[in-house]
Amino acid sequence: MTDRTRPHDGTTAHAQPLTRPLTPDVTLRPAALADAPSFATALTRSRAYMRRWEPVRPEGFYAPEGQAARLTALLAERDAGRAMPWALADADDRVIGAFTLSAIERGPYRNARLGYWVDVDHAGRGLATAAVGAVCDAARDSLGLHRVEAATVTENAASQRVLSKAGFEQVGTAPGYLHINGRWRDHHLFQRLLHDDPPFA
């Protein structure tokens, strides 16, 4: 890795998050509080489609006010250096997905957890794979992380294909890992190692 691309220690990384066009009409960009109504619309539209893979949500979660509360908390985590949220936006800057690095840890661990979803109307276009790749680039080059982890319900073959195409490998299976769609579900665990450099102090 050259000095030009060597990751820094991530202490100010949240101030300059990645924006990247993925196709001529779709961009991965930082999420903002003003996106709350657009998030609410996309999540409501995709609710039935994503139900199998999501926790049971209160009705208020799907309202603009619920999304504003969620984004406020998430952006506070970003400002503390513990998360990095992105929105997938169409040509009219409407939200059609979300990609988030959370539980960011530094020191010798240099790790984050990846979560994502894509609007039902835009599934199957390769957007998730492209966005996951871009997020991993940012994790390495801007945040200085060594590893990104992800988990999928064992039956979620589509998400597993996304992770595999984006360079993740399965490292295990965790019984009863998350409470999804009303019950504790087994999950396959994945990781992507981003580089072999030692962590900065």
pLDDT tens track for 168-195: 999 999 999 999 999 999 999 999 999 9
pLDDT at 15: 41
What's the mean pLDDT when you consider all of the chain?
92
**Tokens representing 172?**
């295990």
pLDDT at 13: 40
Convert the pLDDT of each residue in 61-85 to its tens digit.
999 999 999 999 999 999 999 999 9
Half-sphere exposure (CA, 13 Å, Cβ side) for 134? 27
Other Cβ atoms closer than 10 A to 74: 19
- Give the confidence band of 199 by pLDDT, cuts at 50, 70, 90: confident
> In whole angstroms, what separates CA 92 from the centre of its chain?
21
Enter the pTM of the model. Answer: 0.90
Longest dimension (CA), the chain: 49
C-alpha angle 26-30-36 in degrees, rounded to nearest 5: 90
How would DSSP label each residue in 74-109? Answer: HHHHHHTTS-EEEEEE-TT--EEEEEEEEEEE-TTT
The burial class, CB within 10 Å (0-12 / 13-18 / 19+), for 69 is middle
- Give the confidence band of 9 by pLDDT, cuts at 50, 70, 90: very low
